[in-house]
Copies of this chain bind each other. A is one copy, B any other.
């Protein structure tokens, strides 16, 4: 991981906020499974499992709430 991959919750646009939410969701996996090799090996498995795709989408949704609030909803 880069030394500081999360300098700020501010993003220029909602779309960038959504992308940051995706990053946060992945980092939340990486803190438990710290090996990039293992994560790469596991990825194909859950990318075809709709239960896990929906669960991943949910984690992104929770982080997007936080980021949207941090950006005052880009109003």
Contact = CB atoms under 8 A, between A and B. Distances in A.
Contacts of A32: 46-47, 53, 56-57
Contacts of A73: 9, 66, 69-70
13 contacts: A8-B14, A9-B14, A9-B68, A28-B58, A28-B60, A29-B53, A33-B48, A38-B47, A42-B48, A46-B54, A51-B51, A61-B63, A64-B66
Name A's interface SS.
helix
Interface in A34-51: 38, 42, 45-51
Nearest to A55: B54
Contact of A61 (B7, B28, B54): B28
